[in-house]
Structure 1
C-alpha cells in the first residue's frame, strides 16, 4: 500500500488540519477540534449539522459554509463521529432556533447521533432527517434499509439553503422527509478500497470484474459480474433507479454523477452523458446537473448515479447561493 501519510493513526487529524488551513476564509475548528464549523454563524437561524467517518471527503467537511452546513463532525476512517463530537457541535452552533441533524442511514451514525440528541434534551431543540437514497438496499451491510450515499449532498444543499432563508425547524424536518422520497442512487466499482489502518483492500476483483451496488465504506455490492461497456453499465444503473421511483407530480430532476475517489473525470462525464440520454428518453427532464468527485470511498475506482426529482421549491433552493470548500455558486455573504 502506498499512501501520502505519516502514520495511519494520525492521518485524519492531520488531513483536517490541512483542510481548515486551506479554507480558513470559510471554516474554523470548533472547541477541542471536535468538529469543523462555518466561520460566521447566523444568529436566529436553525443550525444544520451532519457528519460521518473520514474517507468520504469532500463530504461532509467540504459542505460546511454559507447556504449548506453549519458544522460537520468527522470520525476515524469509515467510523461514525462520537456522541461527544456531535454534542459539542450542537452546543456551539445553536444560536436560538434549534438544530437539524442530517444523518446517513448507517447503524453507527444513527446510534451516535441519537445518543447526542438525547443528551441535549432540555437545552436544545433537535430534529433529525435520515438520508437514505441507495437503491441497492436489499442485504446491504452496515444499515437497516436504504443507505445514505451521494444523495446526502442534495439533502444538505437544499435544507441548508432553506435554513439560510429562515425556514423553521419543523419546516426543515418536513422538507427533509419529502426529499427522502425523491432521491435515488446506485453505485458500481471496479476496485475495492485500500484502508490505511489495515493496509489491504476491502474486497478484490478480477481484472475483468466489477462490483454492482457498492456502498461508500468499501462494502461489497449486491453482486459482481463481468465488466462491460459504459452504455450497458449506465443502462443497468438508470433502469434500476427508475424501477425504484415514483415520478409523482414532477418530471424535472437533478442528475448527479459522483466519483468514488479513483475514477478519472472524463469517465464521469461519459457516464453522465449516457445517463442523461436514458433518463430523458424515459420522460424525465434533467434541469440541473452536477458531475465530479464529491462523496468518496477513499481510493475506490467507481462511481454512482443519483436522480433527484425537483419540484419548484427544491429547484429554487438548489439554485440559492452556496459558499463551501466543495460547492460554490451564486452571490453569497463573503464576510
Structure 2
C-alpha cells in the first residue's frame, strides 16, 4: 500500500515537525519532550487546562484540536498507540494555570494506563488532574457494559464541550462533569469498507473481500459485529442509526448534534450522501438536528468507511457546542 514517507520509523517525528512548522501560530513543541505540543497563545491564569492525546494515524485528531476553544495541549503517541506518561506529564505542567488539568482520551488499555500514570506523577507536582474517558462506540460492548466500550469519533464532542466549559471559567470538577455528561449523551457506530496499513509494515491491518463491509469496525481495525456484502448508503446509515437510537433515549422534540465522520479515504461525496439519510430519518422521528458536522474528524490512516455520532443536547451542552473555536484543523465561529 503506497505511502509518501521517508524512513518508516521516523514518520511520527517528521509529521510533528511538519505540523508545528506549518501551524506555528497555533502550536509549539516543548523542548522537554518532542511528543508534547501546546498552544502557542498565552492562556489565562486560573483557567482549567484541557489535555487530549492518543496514537498517531487519526489525523486531524489529536494535534489538530489544540487551539482557542478546545484543547490547550496534546501528547502524541506512535501510530495507533498511546503516548507514554512522560509527554503527557510535560504537557500537564506546561498548561496548568493553577486551576488543574482535565485529561480527555479514549477507552483503550494503553491510554488508560499511561494517562493514569501521568496523573499520579502530576499529583506529585501538586497539579490536580481529572480524567474523562470517551466510550461512545455502541458496537464494542453491550449497553450494560458501557464502561468497556471504545472511544471513537464521539470524542470530538467531548473536546468541544470541555474546551468551552474551561473557556467559560468552569472549575476543574465542573469541566470534567460537562465532559462526562457529553460522553454519557453520545453514541457512535462505524462501518469499514477497506483496510489501512501501518508505515512499518506496508500491509493491510485487516482484510475485507472486494464486495464486503464490516459493520461496527473499530478505529484501529478492531472487529465489528458482522461482515456482510456492501450495501447502499441509505441501508448502512439506517443500520448504524438503529443501533445508536436503540442504545440511548432520544425522543421526539429532542435536540442532537450529528457527526458523519470519514475514516481517512472516504470522499466527502459519500459522507454527504450518508448525512442526507441521517437527516431524513431523524426528521421523520421528530428529532431536531441542532448542529451538524460532516468530514474527516477522527480518522484511521487511509481506512475506507465512515461513522455516525449523535449527542443528545440540553441547554448547557448547546451553549458548549455553540462556543467559537479556532484550531488548525477545525474552526467554528
Please indicate the TM-score interval, normalised by the length of the shorter structure: over 0.9
Q: Please, what TM-score do these two structures have when normalized by structure 2?
A: 0.95
In the other structure, the counterpart of 1:263 is 266
Q: Check conservation: 1:53, 1:79, Cα contact below 8 A.
A: yes
1:177 and 2:170 aligned: no
Q: Check conservation: 1:250, 1:310, Cα contact below 8 A.
A: no
Alpha-carbon distance between aligned partners in 1 of 2:160 and 2:253, rounded to the nearest angstrom: 20
In the other structure, the counterpart of 2:192 is 189
Q: Which moved more, 1:83-92 or 1:276-285?
A: 276-285
Alpha-carbon distance between aligned partners in 2 of 1:250 and 1:154, rounded to the nearest angstrom: 21
CA deviations 1:237-276 (Å, max 9, x no partner) are 1111000002279710111000000100100000001011
In the other structure, the counterpart of 2:25 is 25
Aligned partner (choices 69, 72, 76) of residue 70 of structure 1: 72
Deviating above 2 A after TM superposition, structure 1's stretches of 4 or more consecutive aligned residues are 247-250
Matched ranges for 1:194-213 at <5 A: 194-213=197-216
- 5+ unaligned residues in a row in structure 1: which ranges? 331-335
In the other structure, the counterpart of 1:114 is 116
Flag the 1:329–1:236 CA change in 2: closer, same or farther, 3 A: same
Flag the 1:300–1:258 CA change in 2: closer, same or farther, 3 A: same
CA RMSD of aligned residues (A): 1.5
CA deviations 1:113-142 (Å, max 9, x no partner) are 001101121410111111110011238xxx
Matched ranges for 1:204-223 at <5 A: 204-223=207-226
The 3-state SS of whatever aligns with 1:238 is: helix
Q: Which moved more, 1:85-94 or 1:172-181?
A: 172-181
Flag the 1:160–1:285 CA change in 2: closer, same or farther, 3 A: same
In the other structure, the counterpart of 2:39 is 38
How much does 1:222 deviate?
Answer: 2.1
Task: Give the total of aligned pairs.
Answer: 327
In the other structure, the counterpart of 1:60 is 62
The 3-state SS of whatever aligns with 2:99 is: coil
Alpha-carbon distance between aligned partners in 2 of 1:250 and 1:279, rounded to the nearest angstrom: 10
CA deviations 1:35-85 (Å, max 9, x no partner) are 111111312210000100000010110000100000011111001000011
The 3-state SS of whatever aligns with 2:123 is: coil
Alpha-carbon distance between aligned partners in 2 of 1:136 and 1:41, rounded to the nearest angstrom: 40
Flag the 1:194–1:144 CA change in 2: closer, same or farther, 3 A: farther
Q: Check conservation: 2:252, 2:285, Cα contact below 8 A.
A: no
- 5+ unaligned residues in a row in structure 2: which ranges? none
CA deviations 1:123-170 (Å, max 9, x no partner) are 10111111110011238xxx9611111010000011101101111101
Q: Check conservation: 1:262, 1:299, Cα contact below 8 A.
A: yes
Q: Please, what TM-score do these two structures have when normalized by structure 1?
A: 0.95
CA deviations 1:17-52 (Å, max 9, x no partner) are 111111111111122323111111312210000100
Q: Check conservation: 1:238, 1:279, Cα contact below 8 A.
A: no
The 3-state SS of whatever aligns with 1:287 is: strand
